[in-house]
């Protein structure tokens, strides 16, 4: 239950070691309690490259109506390295989510959860740090094998990493490229897929992620 606080000022080697150390702390389990709100968080980068702008948006779970928005701006303290994305975006994401007026029952992060080389993607890191249920929503595959799901909305296929089902390739809109859904922390894959689909009635990406993306981009210009 205790927070996993650690320094973000680490080398790529130390970052990998931290992932291996923290991965066992991730809990894949059913959500406790009712889901009344869902938040989404995403980052954007300023033109002059050097600062990262992150936005968090809190929505009412059923209606998907916006309850609140929050932003955070930080200097990029880590380069983009596949597999180490959280060391670049998590600090800003955590700050933005922390600024929301109330705690979300579920948080959706732009990136992978346990469908990661070391089972510790951005969604796991943020979820573990804040100790809240998180879902990883990625536009592309990072690791593992999968087959393309059928063309209609709701179709899905397994994403297998190291012989384990680590995620779901989910078609959120008929005829549109599927997204990669995975559990981040304190949620099951089945629940993650359910909420991802529930939030994707109007577009490929779930509404919390879409709105956070728009908000972050807006604060960049």
Q: State both tokens at 85.
A: 């994305």
28-36, 104-112, 162-170, 191-199 -> range binding DNA (CB under 7 A): 104-112
8 binds DNA (CB under 7 A): no
Q: Which is nearer to DNA, 56 or 61 (CB)?
A: 56
Q: Which is nearer to DNA, 15 or 67 (CB)?
A: 15
Q: Alpha-carbon distance 144 to 173, whole Å? A: 23
Say which DSSP state 30 is in.
P
Q: Which is nearer to DNA, 61 or 161 (CB)?
A: 161
Do 165 and 181 meet the contact criterion of CB atoms below 8 Å apart?
no
Contacts of 53 (CB under 8 A, 6+ apart): 43, 44, 45, 46, 71, 72, 73, 92, 216, 219, 220
Q: State both tokens at 140.
A: 């592309």
Q: State both tokens at 18.
A: 């931290």
Give the contact letters, 128-147, x = binds to DNA (CB under 7 A), - = no. Answer: --------x-xxxxxx----
Q: Please select the residue that binds DNA; options are 64, 158, 217, 219, rule is CB under 7 A.
A: 217
Radius of gyration of the chain (CA): 16
80 binds DNA (CB under 7 A): yes
Do 217 and 119 meet the contact criterion of CB atoms below 8 Å apart?
no
Do 216 and 209 meet the contact criterion of CB atoms below 8 Å apart?
no
Q: Which is nearer to DNA, 58 or 136 (CB)?
A: 136
Query: How near is the Cβ of 120 to DNA at its closest, in Å?
Result: 8
Q: Please select the residue that binds DNA; options are 121, 127, 133, 178, rule is CB under 7 A.
A: 121
Strands 51-60 and 37-45: antiparallel
Query: Please, which of residues 15-44 interact with DNA by CB under 7 A?
Result: 42-44
Q: Which is nearer to DNA, 61 or 90 (CB)?
A: 90
84 binds DNA (CB under 7 A): yes
Q: Which is nearer to DNA, 57 or 61 (CB)?
A: 57
Query: Please, which of residues 152-181 interact with DNA by CB under 7 A?
Result: none
Counting Cα atoms < 13 Å in the Cβ hemisphere of 197 gives 16
Q: State both tokens at 6.
A: 């650690």
List of residues contacting DNA (CB under 7 A):
42-45, 47, 80, 82-86, 110-112, 116, 121-123, 136, 138-143, 217, 220
């Amino acid at each position: 239950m205790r927070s996993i606080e650690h320094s973000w000022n680490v080398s790529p080697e130390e970052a990998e070691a931290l992932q291996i150390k923290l991965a066992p702390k991730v809990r894949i389990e059913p959500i406790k309690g009712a889901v009344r709100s869902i938040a989404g968080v995403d980052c954007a980068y300023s033109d002059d490259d050097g600062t990262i702008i992150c936005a968090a948006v809190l929505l009412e779970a059923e209606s998907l109506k916006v309850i609140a928005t929050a932003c955070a701006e930080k200097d990029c303290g880590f380069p983009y390295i596949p597999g180490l994305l959280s060391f670049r975006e998590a600090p800003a994401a955590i700050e933005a989510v922390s600024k929301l007026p109330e705690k979300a029952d579920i948080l959706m992060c732009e990136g992978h959860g346990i469908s990661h080389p070391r089972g510790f993607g951005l969604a796991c890191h943020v979820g573990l740090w804040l100790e809240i249920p998180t879902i990883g929503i990625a536009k592309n595959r990072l690791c593992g094998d999968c087959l393309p799901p059928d063309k209609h909305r709701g179709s899905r296929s397994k994403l297998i990493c190291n012989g384990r089902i680590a995620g779901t390739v989910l078609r959120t809109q008929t005829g549109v490229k599927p997204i990669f859904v995975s559990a981040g922390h304190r949620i099951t894959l089945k629940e993650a897929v359910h909420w991802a689909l529930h939030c994707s009635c109007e577009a490929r990406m779930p509404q919390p992620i879409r709105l956070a993306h728009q908000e972050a981009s807006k604060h960049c210009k």
